[in-house]
Structures are given as structure tokens and as C-alpha cells.
Chains A and B, each alone.
Chain A
């Protein structure tokens, strides 16, 4: 950096600014350790508003850890991360502000088993956003329509199938009206016949312009909706590209090996 000329420096700053203007997540030089285990290494990532990113990579490569850093379910030791202009640091106020704007869908749904579907959906709007109950319930029903299970509103999560539960989990996040949605292998725990009902909901969401970060190995989904596919291995971002280039013309040997493995079976 120090060797670049002044004019270069200027142009790169302006470029960074314009890039920042429509980027909603900015990650710079992020490093994270579990004890002495270096799990995320020098991660730089900018996500534009409305961008749909698919993250893939072998198990244990740090995909979950990375997206969990974005809503601070995991803390990191080095680097900076800001979401919608709010820097994530120790400040609990900032953390809660970010969490209100970022929805997350987990592999194992994590619905609240002691609450009905409707209560699962209205809980956060009522207690976090302080929306009146009537209004929260109306919104919840709207989202249940969208994920096509309005008739299950009064049941408990344990009475639903896996695919239905995951759609409820998506609706639950959407009820908070988030700007960004994070998905951590949302279909990995599902029986094969239920995967498509969840993916359909996610595709719809993508088409509506939601900013999405999605850890998944559903390559069909990636080809269909992703603007960018990121490949991670050993805590690093190894390669990223648009899906067309990524799948047809992978550059890194690790990526090639990974792709041949998942397409191979």
C-alpha cells in the first residue's frame, strides 16, 4: 500500500466509498480463534444491499462461524465488521441493534417448542419491537400465508414436519422485518422430499430482493439465485465468483476438488 502513488490512493479511496455506499455488510481483516485454534483467517467480505451470496466449502471450514459472526452469536478477536453502518463491538446496544436487523435460520430450526407457531412468530415483534399484539398477529399470519402454512398457526412446533418447521423458522425471522437474512445449512437436516418446499420459499425471498447469505450445498439453488458463490476452506475464503464462472470454471485446485466431490455423487 505504501508504495502506491498518491493519485492511486485517492482513486482507491473513492472507489471504496462508492462501494461502501451500497454495501450493507463490511468485513475487514477478520480473524477468530477458538482458544488457540485459528478458525477464521483474514476474512474480507463486502456484501451489497440486495446481494445473494451462497457460501460453500467442506465441513469444518468455518462457514457457520463466519455467518454467526455477522450477528455476533460468535465474537471475534481481530478485524472489523459492520452491519448497515453499525460497527459490531463489545457494545451490547450495537449488538442488539444489529440483531434486530439480521434474521437467522438454523440447520435445526430452533423453534421454541413451548410456544405455538403463532406465538413463535409474534414473540420478537411483541417483546423487541413492541408492536401491538393485533398487528403482530396480523403480520405473522401474512408471513405464514407466504410460507404456505397458515392452517398450522395454533399448533406446536413438535406437531409439524421438518420442512414445515423450517418454513416457520424463516417466517419467524421475516416477522422482524430484517434487512439481511442469514441461512446456515437450512436444508441439511431435512428429509429429501422436504428440501424443495424450503428452497422454494428461499427462492421467492431472493426474488423479492432480500439480502441473503446462505451456507448451503444445494448447488441448484446457488445457480438459480446466487449473485456470488464463496468457497471456504480451512478458515479462509479461497475463491469467490458468480455462479456461472464458479461452477464452470473454478480456478483454485481446492475448489475444483470440492466441486468434483459434490457433483460426483
Chain B
């Protein structure tokens, strides 16, 4: 008998298992039910996609400035074009819109910095930018200190949605973390207060909190003090978002093995250092998909502030539809456009989230 080991060379799979025909057979027509579904969806696509494309692009009206120039049968995108300034900036004075632009560019820069700076810079620069950016953007938006003041009732349009959402997420992260830690506290009083407040804000629709914010918050302030409408919306959104964030982070905290805390403690690290250096970095990392999910939800929810009279993008569209020069019924264009804008932003966010996850995963796991 021969005792040496002779490796068998690896071979290619048989050709019937690869190639486009094999793929179609495998995934589109693998069974009668699958074949039926394939035919059904092919019919839907052929039946509905061409008319939609025709309406949105081929027969759409792109050039011109007035309603009367919308002569073709498709969408009247001139409507959107003419209102695009309001849709993005609300009633923010036209000659000052560069300030909003700067604030938005700054926001993109800050977000990009968090993820794409080299690691050693990311921590410091990242944190500083997160602290400094809000101050700068408030100054840019509101004015003062040498800039002309623009009161918050002039703010509006999609920039208001973006800034509200970003402010909400920025505030809700630290509050959510504290809330989540409090929920796990050994001290019964802290624990009960945290649990009941989280459940309160989580168990009520945002729209209710917004209403309560505009009706009830003023009661907590002295008679003369008029709390800004935008401020009230911001507080309501922050509380609502923080409660969700707390639950998301709690999920992350629970996934961290107890051994991590024990190892940190046995090295002499106290509670706060253990949380900050060991538990939270890991818990936040695994929570990123869920954090982004709540952020996407919040971003869409910012349209709700229209009910307390803030002119974000949706209410701007509604105002435009009421305008006497544009009474031709452009509802579909308006709402399709808003839907599209939100979809682009939310989809981008979820892609970014996937990207971050992959990036974080490669560094730490055994490959």
C-alpha cells in the first residue's frame, strides 16, 4: 500500500451549472410557481413602466417659466423648476441663501469627515467638528455677530427638513446613550425614571408630541417668554428620537458579553471609563444599522412639523399648489417630486450605512 498523500487537483464545475442560460433556469424558471411569477412580473413591467417613463421624461415639459408653456401631455416639471428656490430655502431671503448653502455644505463635510478621515485624525477632528458645526450653522442660519438676522419663521423648504433631522440625530445620540445607560442602572430610582420616560415618548406618535410641544411647552415657561416655534418642534423631535435611540442602543449594550465589563473592571477601569472605552464603542458599532434606520424614519417624520405651521418642503409644495398662477393641478408632479427627493436621500443613507458596516467589519474580524 502507498502511504504518501497525493492531492487531487481542483477541477472546474461542469458547464451546465454556469452561464446565463443556467442562471435563468435556476432562478427564473426553477418551478411552475416561479415561472408563473416571472411571467406575471414581466407583464407588470411591460404594462406600467413605459407609460410612467413617458409621463416623467418623454412627454414631460422641461423648458419654460409659466404654466401655459406646459403644453405636452406629460409632467409639468416647469412647476417644480419655478418653485425650486422655495422648495429648498422656504422664505429665506434670496440674497442670503448662500448662508443656507454654506450650512448644508458644512453638514456634508462634517458627515464625510466622520467616515473618511484617517483613523488617527478621525477621533479628534470628528468630535470637534460635531461640536463646532452646530454653532457655526446656527450662526449662519440665524445671523447676528455681523450677519443680518433671519428669524426662524423665514426658514423653510427642504433645508429645514435636513437641518431639523440632523439636529435631532445629533442631540438624540448623547441623550439616547445616557437614557439607555440609565435604564440599565443599578439604582432603582434612576432606572424607573428612565424606563418610564422612554416608554412615554416611544408610546406616543410624534405628531402628538409636536402638538403637545406647541400647546404645553409654553406653560413651563414664564408668561412673557415666547418659545420659538422651531425650537418647540426641535425639542419635541429630539425627545421622540432620543427615546427610540435609547432603545436601539440598549439592544447594542445587551449584545456586549459580560466578560468585556469584567475584563475592564479587573484592569481597574471604573464604570464610566469602562462604558466609554469598552462597551459603548462596541455597542454603537453593532447598532449602526438600527441607528441609521431610526434616522431615516426621523428624516421622513420631519415633514410632520407642517402641522404646527413650519414651512418645510411638503407644506411649501402645498402652498405652491394654491398659488393663483399655478392652479392647473400639479399635485402629482409636486408629490412625486417630494417623494423622489426623500427617496434619494434615504436610499443614500442606507447605502452609506451598509458601507460603514462593511468597513468596520473588515478591520476587526478574523479574515
Interface residues, chain A, with chain B CB atoms under 8 Å away: 71, 73, 92, 96, 99-100, 102-104, 106, 108, 110-114, 123-124, 127-128, 156, 158-159, 169, 172-173, 176
Interface centre among A92, A102, A128 (most CB of B within 10 A): A128
- 5 smallest A-B Cβ distances: which pairs? A110-B263, A124-B267, A110-B259, A104-B266, A100-B268
* B267 partner, pick from A92, A99, A156, beta carbons under 8 A: A99
- The interface stretch among B140-148, B243-251, B276-284 is B276-284
Closest to A99 in B: B268
Least CB distance, A143 to chain B, in whole angstroms: 14
Q: How far is the CA of A176 from the CA of B277 in the complex (A)?
A: 17
B263 and A123 contacting across the interface, CB-CB below 8 Å:
no
1/0 contact string of B259-278 vs chain A (CB within 8 Å): 11011111111100100011
Q: Give the secondary structure class of A's interface.
A: mixed
Residues in A whose Cβ lies below 8 Å from that of B267: 99, 103, 123-124, 128, 172-173, 176
A108 touches B259 (CB 8 A): yes
Across the two chains, which residue of chain A brings its CB closest to B274?
A127
B285 close to A (CB within 8 Å): yes
| Interface core residue of A71, A96, A103, A113 (most chain B CB under 10 Å) | A113
Which stretch of B159-167, B189-197, B358-366 is in the interface? B358-366
| 8 Å CB contact of B268 from A96, A159, A169 | A96
Contacts of B269 in A (CB 8 A): 123-124, 127-128
Residues of chain A lying within 8 A (CB to CB) of residue B265: 71, 73, 99
Which residues of chain B have C-beta atoms less than 8 A from A172's C-beta? 267
Besides the known contacts A123-B269, A128-B267, 10 further A-B residue pairs in the complex with CB atoms under 8 A apart: A73-B265, A103-B266, A104-B263, A110-B263, A113-B364, A127-B277, A128-B273, A156-B363, A156-B365, A159-B367
A106-B259 in contact given A99-B266, A172-B267 (Cβ < 8 Å): yes
Known contacts A114-B281, A158-B364; is A128 also within 8 Å of B263 by CB?
no
What's the minimum C-beta distance from B247 to chain A, rounded to whole angstroms? Answer: 22
Question: Chain B nearest CB: distance from A183 CB in Å?
Answer: 12
Q: Which residues of B contact A173 (CB under 8 A)?
A: 266-267
- Residue pairs across A and B with Cβ atoms less than 8 A apart, 15 shown, are A71-B266, A73-B262, A96-B270, A99-B268, A102-B266, A104-B262, A104-B266, A106-B262, A110-B262, A112-B278, A128-B268, A156-B363, A156-B364, A159-B366, A169-B263
A220 to B96, CA, bound (A): 81
Most chain B CB atoms below 10 A, which of A92, A124, A176:
A124
Cβ contacts under 8 Å, B273 to chain A: 127-128
- A-B CB pair tally, cutoff 8 Å: 67
CB distance B266 to A158 under 8 Å?
A: no
Chain B residues touching A, majority SS: helix
Q: Given the complex of chains A and B, what is the CA–CA distance between A97 and B216 in angstroms? A: 50
A161 CB, min distance to chain B CBs, angstroms? 9
Chain B residues positioned under 8 Å from A92 (CB to CB):
270
* Complexed CA–CA distance, A92 and B271 (Å): 10
A246 to chain B, nearest CB (A): 28
Is A114 within 8 A of B285, CB to CB? yes
- Pair B277/A158 contact, Cβ less than 8 Å: no
Give Cα distance in the complex from A90 to B285, angstroms.
Answer: 34
Name the one of A73, A108, A112, A123 contacting B266, with C-beta atoms under 8 angstroms: A73
- From residue B330, how far is it (CB to closest CB) to chain A in Å? 52
Closest beta carbon of chain B to A75's beta carbon, Å: 12
A-chain residues with CB within 8 Å of residue B264 when the two chains form the complex = 112
B365, A158: Cβ atoms closer than 8 Å:
yes
When distances are taken between beta carbons in the complex, the residues of chain A under 8 Å from B281 are: 114
Give chain A residues whose Cβ lies under 8 Å from the Cβ of B270.
92, 96
Type the 1/0 row for B214-227, where 1 means its CB is closer than 8 Å to any CB of A.
Answer: 00000000000000
Q: Say whether A110 contacts B268, CB under 8 Å.
A: no
Minimum distance in angstroms from B285 CB to a CB of chain A:
7
Give every chain B residue within 8 A of A73 (Cβ-Cβ): 262, 265-266
A124 → B minimal CB distance (Å): 4
Q: Nearest residue in B to A108 (C-beta to C-beta)?
A: B259
A102 to B263, CA, bound (A): 12
- By beta carbon, the residue of chain A nearest B258 is A110
- Can you name the residue of chain B whose Cβ is closest to the Cβ of A124? B267
Cβ distance B353 to chain A, nearest Cβ, rounded Å: 18
Give A124 to B264 CA distance when docked, in angstroms: 8
B364 touching A114, Cβ below 8 Å:
yes
Which listed residue, A100, A123, A169, touches B277 by the CB 8 Å rule? A123
Instruction: Name the residue of chain A whose CB is nearest to the CB of B285.
Output: A114
Q: B252 CB to closest chain A CB, in angstroms? A: 12
Residue of B nearest to A102 (CB): B266
Cβ contacts under 8 Å, A103 to chain B: 266-267
A110 to B274, CA, bound (A): 13
Assembled-state Cα–Cα distance A173/B273 (Å):
17
Closest to A113 in B: B364
| Inter-chain contacts of B285 with A (CB < 8 A) | 114
Bound CA–CA A111/B263 (angstroms)? 8
